[in-house]
Amino acid sequence: MCGIVAYSGRQQARGILLDGLRRLEYRGYDSSGIAILNSTPYLARAVGKVAELERRVAQDEPQGLVGIAHTRWATHGKPTELNAHPHTDCQRQIFLVHNGIIENYQALKNRLLAAGHQFRSETDTEVLVHLIENAYNGHLESAVQKALLEVQGTFGIAVVHAAHPAEVIVARRGSPIVLGISADASLAASDVSALAQHTTQVVYLEDNEIARLGPGEYSIKTLDNRAVSRSATALERVAGDLERGDFPHYMLKEIFEQPEAVENALRGRVNHSEGVAKLGGLESVLDRLSQARHLIIVSCGTSYYAGLFARYAFETLTDMTVETELASEFRYRKLNIRQNTVVLAISQSGETADTLAALREAKRKGALVLGLVNVVGSTIARETLAGVYSHAGMEVGVASTKSFTSQLTILLLMALLVGRSRDLSYEEGERILRGLEEVPGQIREILKLSDAVRELAARFCQASHFLYIGRKYQYPIALEGALKLKEVSYIHAEGYAAGEMKHGPIALIDPSFPTVALAPADGSFDKVVSNIQEILARSGPVIAITTVGNTRLASLVNHVIEVPHNVEILMPLLTVVPLQLFAYHCAVLRGCDVDKPRNLAKSVTVE
């Protein structure tokens, strides 16, 4: 989604800002822009890729040590040059970039128009820069503060003014801003990946805070003017994660990083002597957690499917009643939150606006709110009472892969932790832990099938539609497999519970409509085979994912992918991998932009 980068330092700003934008490209965007302060401030904006903006900037060679830049993901107004950020005031003195949505923009715009302000775009953002212009009387930070007090909605902003050539003002409410500080420069961005090349010292801004940046210095206060003292914390690892190495795409690199991601998720968290998981981040709430009877999981996208899997895992391993709810729907349901209700937010980015809104709602209602988050220091991580980091490393590909397997691993550890404080036996706990430790090696085996999966993709990638089916633990994997295919290859795909197929989707089956059937040798295998038979009887092609050595399917369907055998509840960690590879290869063969699929964003910071 939209990305912000800002710089105030002693080097030319343009290279640093453009480099930041390139590092934010993965979030998804449709236009970009840059403003650099000088005696005549420089502004350039372009529709399409950052490369287009770079081309223009290279021609103009703007000079200046302070500037702001933005990638825009259109919400209000089409992706045009005029709607791209930075926006500027009537006098072209103030420049502003914004992530989020200004909900009362129409009322503010009417008022500003009546006062004679001239608007150039269709965006909600432009009202901000005119509000600041209105409030300005020689002091930029106070003007921004005053303007923001009138605003309803969400914002992460960066603002510069031609009369303040060393200064950048940033502020946030509901949309992340992180500061990066080095000896001679200060940066700000919506995402640490834009800063990691330049500094290892970061400061996270909280909601309703405003910061003033100068070369190598910063100060923070609240929007209602209380001083905030916050020192920088060290940033680790991100820079290395940003390199693609020999892989043609981040998505493939991240699929191949899954053995390490699962290892990292397990590292230091396995207690064999007691057959239980050790999750330091949950220790402070362990008592409440072991009393809890009701778990509600809230999340979006791939994290939602991890949550659907967790429902099965918690129901199997604990005596909790579990509901998994789409975060965007959570607030419309009247869920009974009691004293012993736990709400678990799952999010890779830790910034998804719907998930954040759901957890705030749950907090208001008195639930114990926990998080399972990948990005350290993200808003969801900070707003939950306790939680677990997945430590999957930075995920750049928009379509989530290693985060998903990492989430499944930790959700199993969480269920085990709760289960062992109740009825779950040591033997059962230990069997799962041993099985989990097998998973990284088994994923490595599956990754060797990548070429074979590419051949399969070559046979099928021209299909217009796909059905994915699975039962029980494999049902969320069918949904995730279908999501991966549509996200990156734009092939229409539906995930269905295998048993539900005969209540509708079977009407679609014909020789041009392939089905991917998740059929490991488990307790549901015979029933899934019956569903496969029903498809074959209607001449539908079937690709089956099953367990090594399971010969029954080979005589039935033409295309079988075999994964190693593990404990039934752990099989989703294995069966999802060929589905990720299949989606990836289909997308490449169809010439799609795998890492940055059209219209999608990595971090969805609007509701």
Helix axes 475-489, 572-589, angle to 10 degrees: 20
The CB-of-487 to ligand G6P minimum distance in angstroms stands at 7
The CB-of-557 to ligand G6P minimum distance in angstroms stands at 30
Is residue 355 close enough to count as binding ligand G6P by CB under 6 A? yes
Is residue 193 close enough to count as binding ligand G6P by CB under 6 A? no
**What are the tokens at 279?**
């999750």
**Which 399-458 positions form the footprint of ligand G6P (CB under 6 A)?**
399-400
The residue behind tokens 């212009």 is: 133
The CB-of-21 to ligand G6P minimum distance in angstroms stands at 19
Buried b vs exposed e over 227-255: b needs ≥16 C-beta within 10 Å?
A: eeeeebeebeebbebeeeeeeebbbbbbb
What burial class does residue 189 get, using C-beta atoms within 10 Å of its C-beta: 0-12 exposed, 13-18 middle, 19+ buried?
A: buried
Distance CA 470, CA 532 (A): 10
Is residue 175 close enough to count as binding ligand G6P by CB under 6 A? no
Q: Which member of 71, 303, 324, 341 binds ligand G6P (CB under 6 A)?
A: 303
Q: Are 178 and 189 in contact (CB under 8 A)?
A: yes
Considering the complex, state which of residue 83 and residue 400 has its C-beta at the smaller distance from ligand G6P.
400
Q: What are phi and psi of 605, to 5 degrees?
A: -100, 15
Considering the complex, state which of residue 16 and residue 255 has its C-beta at the smaller distance from ligand G6P.
255
Distance CA 88, CA 264 (A): 46
Distance CA 269, CA 16 (A): 39
The CB-of-65 to ligand G6P minimum distance in angstroms stands at 34
The residue behind tokens 């910063």 is: 218
The CB-of-29 to ligand G6P minimum distance in angstroms stands at 13
Q: Are 2 and 605 in contact (CB under 8 A)?
A: yes
Residue 286's identity, in one-letter code, is L
Q: What are phi and psi of 39, to 5 degrees?
A: -55, -35
Q: What 3-state class would DSSP assign to 417? A: helix
Distance CA 338, CA 342 (A): 9
The CB-of-99 to ligand G6P minimum distance in angstroms stands at 15
**Of 2, 300, 586, 592, catalytic:** 2
Q: Which member of 197, 316, 600, 607 binds ligand G6P (CB under 6 A)?
A: 600
Q: What 3-state class would DSSP assign to 506? A: helix
Residue with the CB atom nearest ligand G6P in the bound state: 301
Q: Which member of 127, 320, 398, 535 binds ligand G6P (CB under 6 A)?
A: 398
Considering the complex, state which of residue 128 and residue 398 has its C-beta at the smaller distance from ligand G6P.
398
Q: Which member of 531, 604, 605, 606 binds ligand G6P (CB under 6 A)?
A: 604
Is residue 586 close enough to count as binding ligand G6P by CB under 6 A? no
**Of 49, 402, 596, 602, catalytic:** 602
Q: Are 14 and 57 in contact (CB under 8 A)?
A: yes
Considering the complex, state which of residue 167 and residue 494 has its C-beta at the smaller distance from ligand G6P.
494
* Cis ω before 86 (30° cut-off from 0): yes
What burial class does residue 266 get, using C-beta atoms within 10 Å of its C-beta: 0-12 exposed, 13-18 middle, 19+ buried?
A: buried
Is residue 583 close enough to count as binding ligand G6P by CB under 6 A? no
Distance CA 332, CA 330 (A): 5
Q: Which member of 300, 396, 412, 436 binds ligand G6P (CB under 6 A)?
A: 300
Considering the complex, state which of residue 171 and residue 399 has its C-beta at the smaller distance from ligand G6P.
399
**What are the tokens at 224?**
């209602």
Is residue 324 close enough to count as binding ligand G6P by CB under 6 A? no
The CB-of-312 to ligand G6P minimum distance in angstroms stands at 19
The residue behind tokens 């736990």 is: 342
Q: Which member of 100, 275, 301, 393 binds ligand G6P (CB under 6 A)?
A: 301
Interface with ligand G6P by CB under 6 A: which range of 12-20, 126-134, 196-204, 296-304? 296-304
Considering the complex, state which of residue 8 and residue 349 has its C-beta at the smaller distance from ligand G6P.
349
- Concerning whether 90 is annotated as a catalytic residue, the answer is no
Considering the complex, state which of residue 141 and residue 351 has its C-beta at the smaller distance from ligand G6P.
351
Residue 539's identity, in one-letter code, is S
Cα within 13 Å of Cα(48), Cβ side: 6
- Concerning whether 586 is annotated as a catalytic residue, the answer is no
Considering the complex, state which of residue 354 and residue 494 has its C-beta at the smaller distance from ligand G6P.
354
The CB-of-406 to ligand G6P minimum distance in angstroms stands at 11
| Residue 298 DSSP code | E
Interface with ligand G6P by CB under 6 A: which range of 275-283, 300-308, 415-423, 433-441? 300-308
Q: What are phi and psi of 291, to 5 degrees?
A: -85, -20
The CB-of-252 to ligand G6P minimum distance in angstroms stands at 16
Is residue 348 close enough to count as binding ligand G6P by CB under 6 A? yes
Residues that bind ligand G6P (CB under 6 A): 300-303, 347-349, 352, 355, 398-400, 600-604
Active site residues: 2, 602
